[in-house]
Amino acid sequence: MRILVLGSGAREHAIVTALLSENAGHEITAAPGNAGIAADVSVIALDPTNPGVVTEFALDNDIELVVIGPEAPLVAGVADKLRQRGIAVFGPGKAAAALEGSKNFAKRIMDEAGVPTGRAVRAGNLGEAITAIDEFGAPYVVKADGLAAGKGVLVTPDRDAAIAHATYWLGHGSVLVEEFLDGPEVSLFLLSDGHNVLPLSPAQDYKRLGDDDDGPNTGGMGAYSPLPWLPAGFVDEVIETIALPTIRQLATEQTPFIGLLYCGLIVTDSGIRVIEFNARFGDPETQVVLPRLVTPLSGLLFAAAVGGLGELERPEFSDDVAVTVVLASEGYPETPITGRTITGLDTALAIHGVSIAHAATAHSGDHLVATGGRVLSVVATGGDFTEARSRAYRALEAIDLEGGQYRTDIAARVAQ
């Protein structure tokens, strides 16, 4: 199959790696890709958020399936243009992608569908935001309404910090002030063809920069899968009470959701609640979910794109566990320092069970350099979490990036 993967991060590298692992002779192109992806498949320097450019490339190169990785192309309507020209695409259209692009839209859909979630108030000005902040009380939860590259959510016991966060994001639109929900968080990916859903394996990610969940929120500093502590029937409950009602509500509104429904969930004393929806694979959870996938990924993505999930069985996963730890640049997330050389990858990759998903890398002469905040995802599989963690952190010790930072406690609790 001729496949075009849009995106340039570790998530897209993980998708490409999973497609290549099928050994099915796929012709894969990534746009724009990164240094790690370019070492594995062809890359093309085109703007993945430009619907016309992407569609013309797909037509000119007889692309049979387009896989949209990041959220920006979805919100820009790239999937709509591709579908108009008869190209199979894994990713929702612009209207359905508002499930991620607008927190207000997502809350309305959940309310209409009866999906369990926390109480929230939309604030269009600072006075409304402060009233809601005081109503819900600490810990305070304030979210930017639109896309914010993982930086729009603040959870804090500090009222002044909550007001400052609301003030900043009100300058870019509206905000949501929500009640705080307490409990372990779960990321569950569900493939959707607009009518049916199939679940992938649950994962848990780590948003805070530092160990013990200290420091600012980030795009994600690590993840692990599966989650041995989840109660029996968890996935089935999410499908019946959250995923299917959401998909059916969108279909009723003539905005079918075709692609990856990311359910950000929390397990509270009162039951499972939705924290947020995303409209694409999550990063870094993708890096631990796909390495365990036994069922060929291409068949799942294509079936979702053409409305055929109802004919498939649930995807199978290996008994191995997977852990990923993100190596970030000095200064991340506020002011990452870029341009520094990365070495030691060959030594890291020589460790059994270790792979590396590039996120923000490029070649400068003969050197590999960091080009962004989250630079690499070091992924390790093993028979148990102790083994996988050991492999991941041995690999990280072999990699040198001046000022590089990473958490040392990813999956530590489940390895005990």
Is the bond preceding 226 in cis, omega lying within 30 degrees of 0? yes
CATH of 121-178 among 3.40.50.720, 3.40.50.10680, 3.40.50.1370, 3.30.1490.20: 3.30.1490.20
**In the sheet where 140-144 sits, what is the strand order?**
120-123, 175-178, 140-144, 153-156
For CATH 3.40.50.20, list the domain ranges present in the chain.
Answer: 2-91
Q: pLDDT at position 151, please?
A: 66
CATH of 182-311 among 3.40.50.1000, 3.30.470.20, 3.30.1490.20, 3.20.20.120: 3.30.470.20
Class at the top of the CATH hierarchy for domain 2-91: alpha beta
User: Percent of the chain at pLDDT above 90?
Assistant: 92
pLDDT at 50 over 80: yes
HSE at residue 42, side-chain half, CA atoms within 13 A, is: 10
Domain 321-415, second-level architecture? Alpha-Beta Complex (3.90)
Q: pLDDT at position 101, please?
A: 87
Average pLDDT, rounded, for the chain: 96
Place of tokens 């992407």: 54
Q: pLDDT at position 186, please?
A: 98
What number of residues does the chain have?
A: 416
DSSP code for 315: P
Tokens encoding 152? 């729009």
For CATH 3.90.600.10, list the domain ranges present in the chain.
Answer: 321-415
Tokens encoding 235? 């996935």
Measured CA to CA, the distance from residue 126 to residue 46 in angstroms comes to 40
For CATH 3.30.1490.20, list the domain ranges present in the chain.
Answer: 121-178
pLDDT at 127 over 80: yes
Place of tokens 């692990």: 224
What three-state secondary structure class fits 126? helix
pLDDT at 416 over 90: no
Q: Is the pTM of this model over 0.85?
A: yes
For the residues 276-287, what does the mean pLDDT come to?
Answer: 96
What three-state secondary structure class fits 236? helix
Sequence-separated (6 or more) residues with CB below 8 Å from residue 134 = 159
Q: Phi then psi for 378, rounded to 5 degrees?
A: -85, 120
Q: pLDDT at position 148, please?
A: 62
Confidence category of residue 149, pLDDT binned at 50, 70, 90: low
Measured CA to CA, the distance from residue 140 to residue 144 in angstroms comes to 13
pLDDT at 150 over 90: no
Contact 250, 259 (CB under 8 A): no
Compute the 3-state secondary structure of the chain and give helix, strand, coil in percent, each to the nearest 5: 35, 30, 35
Instruction: Kindly report, residue by residue over 200-237, the tens digit of the pLDDT.
Output: 999 999 999 999 999 998 999 999 999 999 999 999 99
For CATH 3.30.470.20, list the domain ranges present in the chain.
Answer: 182-311
